[in-house]
Amino acid sequence: MTLPPRPELSSAQQTLQWMTRPYGFLEECAATLGETFALDFRGYGVGVIFSSPEAIQEVLGGDPEVFWAGAGNGILKPFLGENSLLLLEGERHRRERKLLMPSFGRGRVQAYGELIHRVTQEICREWAFDAPFAVRPSMQKVAFRLIIEMVFGPERTERRQRLSRAFAAVLDDELFNLALLSQRAGGEAAGARWAQFVGQLDELSALIYEEIDERRTEDQQARGDILAVLLEARDEEGQPMLREEIHDEVLTLMATGHESTATALAWGIYWLLSSPQVYARARREMLALGEACTGGQIAQSAYLEAVVKEILRLTPVIPVIARQVQREVKVGGYTLEPGMVAMPAIYLAHRRAEVFEEPERFWPERFLDRTYRSHQFLPFGGGVRRCIGARLAMYEMKIVLGTLLRNVDLELAGERALRPVRRLVTIAPSGGTQVVRRRESALCESP
């Protein structure tokens, strides 16, 4: 068997590089080894990185019984649970995805427009003038409030407040880290500090179960939240989702949807403020909508959609896709054996000069001028495992950024070239994107 070239580093060194500087490590390997190369991840096995559109299409368009996604996400099982859509394969995955799909239909997503608009306005009113601050925590606060209300509904009960606090405690804990989650099974050997973190996870889990159990005794027909959809869902045999299945899907939506959107928004603000011409055009278009515009009207902007796509092109918050090979298969001219992981590299695919002119340049207009194929531009993955919340993520990002452009005038503070750093499964900007709110603002009153 002939594998593609690999770095002249030990498995431990490769893993360390991947965990601490994923963007840079991918670029260095591509520059020295070519568009296809292998990495030996300690404790995870051999991953083969592909960046050509043709090889990516072979993987994402291949037989899902050969290319397993759930196995590639196995490190998340201690947190998300064994019933998470991210971990399922085959018929179970198809069934669960079909049950979840109504939560992300066009009409249901658009119904969140005013909620997204309102929450973003409330958060931006908290920002002081002329004082540097990290914008990512504010974006996390926006995404946090949105996902809680989207999943559970608008009620502000005492248990809902406890659930929000428990969720925030888990998210803010330094142990909520991709490199450490798999240690949960270590029990006492992992130490008292880890046991404390596991206790926080268990508290959050118990509160979610309480919400599910109470809501199962109520009529869900008039409700519009995601939990109501899951409680009402029935498969082709008329069977509802199990209590444990609903719990794991709720936890998956809360954690992954919230984290990835907040991180993408932090990168988005960085790119906008780093590009004066883009920032000026986007802000001009948003202000032209007038004082009475709605979240839905903001989301209709073609230029703003191009801006969001360009943000996701340059800094995809998840840089690679993982598919564990179940039987011998040939991809990109190389033979992969069972247990190896085929890894289409979103980050590298988005930087191919033959696909994207001036690939390092932040240039949203490229998305107004042409349409890219699904194996060329793939911020949400592809194939039958494409991110189920992609439509909601795009809609939320457009309205949040558009609302900020209308209501506050920002400029970058601190370091101008941000370093990518890991946050759980995402790659976030170092320092959380430091900004300053300028006195000249449009529609948002001072705090």
Cβ(440)–Cβ(38) below 8 Å: no
pLDDT per position as a tens digit, 184-210: 444 444 577 778 888 888 999 999 999
- φ and ψ at 242, to 5 degrees? -70, 155
Both tokens of residue 254? 């809360």
Q: Would you state the pLDDT for residue 71?
A: 75
Cβ(311)–Cβ(267) below 8 Å: yes
Q: Would you state the pLDDT for residue 76?
A: 78
- For residues 72-107, one letter each, b for 16 or more C-beta atoms within 10 angstroms of the residue's C-beta and e for the rest, the string is bbbbbbbbbbebbbbbbbeeebebbeebbeebbeee
Strands 341-344 vs 45-50: parallel, antiparallel or unpaired? parallel
Strands 341-344 vs 323-325: parallel, antiparallel or unpaired? antiparallel
- Other CB atoms within a 10 A radius of the CB of residue 423 amount to 21
Please tell me the distance from the alpha carbon of residue 441 to that of residue 396, in angstroms, as a whole number. Answer: 22
Q: Would you state the pLDDT for residue 447?
A: 38
Q: Would you state the pLDDT for residue 445?
A: 41
Please tell me the distance from the alpha carbon of residue 268 to that of residue 278, in angstroms, as a whole number. Answer: 12
**What residues contact 81, with CB distance under 8 A and at least 6 apart?**
87, 244, 247, 248, 251, 252
| Helix, strand, or coil (residue 410) | strand
| Helix, strand, or coil (residue 277) | helix
- Other CB atoms within a 10 A radius of the CB of residue 14 amount to 21
Residue 136 CB-density burial (10 A; 0-12 exposed, 13-18 middle, 19+ buried): buried
> What residues in the chain have per-residue pLDDT under 50?
183-189, 445-447
From the list 356, 401, 402, 400, the residue with the least C-alpha distance to 378 is 356
Half-sphere exposure in the Cβ direction for 318 (13 Å, CA): 21
| Helix, strand, or coil (residue 436) | strand
Cβ(82)–Cβ(248) below 8 Å: yes
**What residues contact 373, with CB distance under 8 A and at least 6 apart?**
53
pLDDT per position as a tens digit, 407-425: 999 999 976 678 888 877 7
Both tokens of residue 387? 């991110």
pLDDT per position as a tens digit, 281-322: 999 999 999 988 999 999 999 999 999 999 999 999 999 999
* Per-residue CA distances from 300 to 175, 284, 307 (Å): 39, 15, 13
